[in-house]
Each structure stands twice: as structure tokens, then as C-alpha cells.
Amino acid sequence: MAIYINEPSHTFNEYLLIPGYSSSECIPANVSLKTPLVKYKAGEKPAIEMSIPMVSAIMQSVSGDKLAVALAKSGGVSFIYGSQSIEEEAAMVARAKGYKAGFVPIDSNIRPDAALSDILKLKEQTGHSTVAVTDDGTAQGKLLGIVTSRDYRVSRMDPATKVSEFMTPLDKMITAGEGTTLSEANDIIWDNKLNSLPIVTKDGRLTAFVFRKDYAEHKENPGEMLDEHKRYIVGAGINTRDYRERVPALLEAGADVLCIDSSEGFSEWQKLTIEYIRKTYGDSVKVGAGNVVDKEGFLFLAECGADFIKVGIGGGSICITRETKGIGRGQATALIEVCQARDEYFEKTGVYIPVCSDGGIVYDHHITLALAMGADFVMLGRYFARFDESPTEKLFINGNYVKEYWGEGSNRARNWQRYDLGGSAKLSFEEGVDSYVPYAGPLKENVNKTLSKVKSTMCNCGALTIKELQQKAKITLVSATSIVEGGAHDVIRKDTSSHSPI
């Protein structure tokens, strides 16, 4: 006979936080949102700690290299989608990792006998306005000059004009030699009012550039996620089919952390994937797993060796798994049970495995609720799909700007690996839909607004850290009538923009 759980499972919208005592020190400016991304032992620090509790979903319509950079600047981590070829995903990871490294290898190089038209084509391909002119047109060639957007005017120049005629030649440039530190390079840039500084060998070969904008961006984003080489931290999704080929390629491209992208994680497929990573790379490669919705699923993945565990099945806005297969659980109930299991596991073993709440976030305050219920961070899809940096098209439909957003289980994505149960390599039926979301603008200002709400609510609960919130939070289940009461009612609203779902 089946096991029956008679208690209904609940969603975030069925809960409210009860305010606690707030001291005069409890102001948003004093709140820290730092949180572990990967597991660690008691008394030790996690290998990766995020500045904010937000990661982006492993989805075609969400996590490309542009969003990975933007989110890392704001203090979170993006997981570049794996439902593409191994070569394409690795290239995305490499682009994100190469965006800022202090010393930046230049992939925009050209010969002096090339034409202005070649410069314009190169700029269109790479998006870079700084082009190094080398004797052989390679990144390691002898530096002869540089071309920036200030060196030419398209409207006044013949596209056939040779690069050698309008480039800034080497004898008019300031360069630095090998062995120059990043601090020294930045001093040279500021002392000489440069936008970029080429680093060259003794025999004049180009090795890298240091850019003024990188220094300025770091000052504007003190919580940005950087590795030991000052490059942005980037995650990548993998599946349980081609991991033997995909994992090495992603690591070679520079991925800092991996995550198995699967609709249901309580399976031998995930065990085999993690076993391969542990046997091949030991504990040096960090990999998250999931998704699960109960204690049993959490303990299974914990024993498999997962570095973090995702919770949630069927709660995403474009997910129809519950409709098509009848599996899942209310996100709040699932999260509470798994986080209790996480705490018991930590007490028993001394190993803390972070929990990621994936799905079910409709309003900003749901993020705070998820954290209070025990989540270390949340994974968001629709939230990030609305921003300029997501990979999808911005369209004008019915008088409003929108962006495309589709599920990994939709026919458009055809990510059959995510729903793999063995057998044929195909998507038998859809578990996601194709849709639009309201366009919301740039990531940074939206994330800052969301986090200001989270910090304010934490202060209302008397908490200055996520751990303190989890210890002090008082959470109440509310009735359907209370939910209605919680919004504006019995009035004619003038403007609803600030109250719309995220």
C-alpha cells in the first residue's frame, strides 16, 4: 500500500514572517548576505562563498555568458546552460572567465595590412573596441600598434583604408614589461591617463592588456565574485549522459563549479555522475546535485558526495511537471523538510551541505521566506530572464516590452537529458512551456532593489545575517482569506507597477 502524507504541502505564499525585536544596530546597511555555495567542514570556510544568496537557473533563456558576468559583478553565481553542445557551452564559460582577469589575453588582433572593414567585422564578432595590431595578427605576435574607437570615424573614412594608416603606433604608446604586477599596472594607467596598458615581453611580443574599466568596475562592485586570478566565478550545468566528455571541457574552459541539471535528482544516474567526478578529480571539483523534495532524497545525494543540493520539483513558472506527471511537492514544505535534514546531517557528520531553493519564487519577499526556512541561496529563472543580460530577444508585444522565456522541458529547448530516465535519447513529452516575461531592464539595479527588500525584512526580524535570520525567524501559516487581506483591497488602485510579481 502507498505511503500517505495527509498533511498538505504548502507554497511560500501561504506563509508570513512575524516581526521580531530590532535593535538600533539592525539597519539594512549592516546586513550581510554572504552565504556558502559549496559544502564545508565545521570550523572551516567554504571554498566558494557568495556575497548574495542568488544563482541563475541552468536554462537556455536565462544563463548565458553575459548574465554570468553581470551576476558575478553583483555577488552571485550563474550556471551556464548545458542544453547545447559541449563546445558551445565551454566557449560560453571561457568568454565569461576571460571578461576580466586583471591581465586580459586579447582575442581581438589584426595585421597592419588589414583594412578598416576588417576592424569593423572583428568588433562585431568579439564586441571589443580595443584591437591589438601585431606583425602576424595573433595574440602572441610582435606588437606594432593599437586601434581603438577613437582612431577612426566610419562616416569619414574609406573602408579599404589600411590599419597601418590610422592605428596608434607602438612608438606613441606606453607599455609595461613582463613581471609587472596588477597594482603597478593600474598605477601606470592612472598616472598616464590611459584606458589600457599592453604588457609585452623583452622581444616585444604582446602577452596581455590591463584595462582601466576593470579597476573602476571593481570599486563599483565590492562584492563581486572573483577567483584567485581576478576572473569572475562562473558555474556550468552538466547532465547525466555525456559528463565524461563535458566535465573535462568545462573545467578546461575555467568553470569554477558544476551543477547536475535534472528535474529529479533521487536517482542512480546522479550517483554515477558524482562518482565519476570524485574518482577523476577528487574533491577539487565542486558539483551540485538535485532536485529533491524530501529528507530521503537529500540524504541520498549527501552520501553521493554532492557539494550543494537543490530542492524543488514542479514549482517553476514555466514547469508543467506536476500537470504532466503528477509528481512534486509544495516548495515551502519541501524546503523545510530538506533543511531540517541538512541540519541533522551537519550535527551528525560535521559536514555542512548548502541547500538551494529552486522554483516557486513569485515575489521578492519569497526569497526572504526561503532563507528563513533554511535555504542558503535561491536559484531563479523567470526573475533573471527579464533582464537585459539574459540571452533572449526583447520584443514589443501588445504595447509592452517583453523577453522570451521557455522551459528546458519545452519542445523549443528539447533538453531531453534533463528528464533522462534511460532509454531513447529524445523528449517524449513536454514538461515546460514557451512564454514571455515583462522586460525589467538591467540586472544590477533590479537585484539591488530586491536585496534592499530582503535586508529590510531581515531587520524587521532582528537579523543581520542569513544564519541569524534562520535562528530568529518566526513563521506563520496563513489562511486563504489572510492572503487576500495581505494585498491592497477594497480600493481603486492608481498604480500597480511596484506590486507586480518579480
H helix runs in 99-162, sequence order: 116-126
319 included as an active-site residue: yes
For the chain, how far is it from start to end, CA to CA, in angstroms?
42
Question: For 396-421, what is the HEC assignment?
Answer: EECCEEEEEEECCCCCCCCCHHHHCC
CB atoms within 10 A of CB 16: 17
Report residue 500 as a C-alpha cell.
507586480
- Residue 352's H or E segment, with its range, is strand 351-352
Helix axes 182-191, 212-220, angle to 10 degrees: 100
Phi, psi of 47, rounded to the nearest 5 degrees: -65, -35
The label of the residue with cell 567554504 reads: 46
Radius of gyration in angstroms for the set of CA atoms belonging to the chain, rounded to a whole number: 25
Looking at 382, 418, 459, 461, which residue is catalytic? 418
CB 260 within 8 A of CB 270: yes
| Number of Cα atoms under 13 Å in the Cβ half of residue 473 | 23
Cell numbers representing residue 86 in the block: 559541449
d(Cα 205, Cα 336) in Å, to the nearest integer?
Answer: 58
Q: Would you call 183 exposed, middle or buried from its count of C-beta atoms within 10 A (0-12, 13-18, 19+)? A: exposed
- Give Cα 68 to chain centroid, integer Å: 5
Nearest to 33 by CA among 307, 378, 472: 378
90, amino acid identity: A
Helix residue spans in 20-176 (DSSP H): 65-74, 86-98, 116-126, 163-166
Of 282, 103, 244, give the one whose Cα is nearest residue 177: 103
Quick one: CA dihedral 368, 370, 373, 375, positive or negative?
Answer: negative
* 329 has catalytic annotation: no
Cα–Cα nearest to 388, from 456, 443, 469, 313: 443
Q: Does residue 291 have a cis bond before it (omega within 30 degrees)?
A: yes
d(CA 386, CA 384): 5
Residues 26, 259, 319, 459: which is the catalytic one?
319
Residues with catalytic function: 319, 418
